[in-house]
Amino acid sequence: MALPKRRISSTRRDKRRTHFKLKPTAPTVCSHCKQPKMAHRVCQNCGFYAGVERIQPED
């Protein structure tokens, strides 16, 4: 197995890892009430998901 000739500094290692970060998820628009909601989740405003009412919204 090959071995590195020189030690990789922490700065060089961290420069390589700058793109390994999570991006915040952008909200989508509910197809029923047009309010912003998280993607792939039931709308908290109207209770619909994929065109079907899944939960009763709280008043």
Q: Give how far Cα 22 sits from Cα of 19, 25, 38, Å.
A: 9, 9, 16
- What is residue 28's predicted lDDT score, i.e. its pLDDT? 93
Q: Which is more confidently placed, 5 or 59?
A: 5
Q: State pLDDT tens for residues 10-51.
A: 999 999 999 988 888 899 999 899 999 999 999 988 999 988
Number of structural domains (the chain) is: 1
Q: Which is more confidently placed, 52 or 6?
A: 6
CA distance linking residue 23 with residue 49, whole number of Å: 24
Residue 44: domain span: 27-59
- What is residue 36's predicted lDDT score, i.e. its pLDDT? 95
In a domain, 6, yes or no: no
Q: Helix, strand or coil for residue 52?
A: strand
Q: Give how far Cα 21 sits from Cα of 2, 8, 18, 55, Å.
A: 29, 21, 7, 34
Looking at the whole model, is its pTM more than 0.85?
A: no
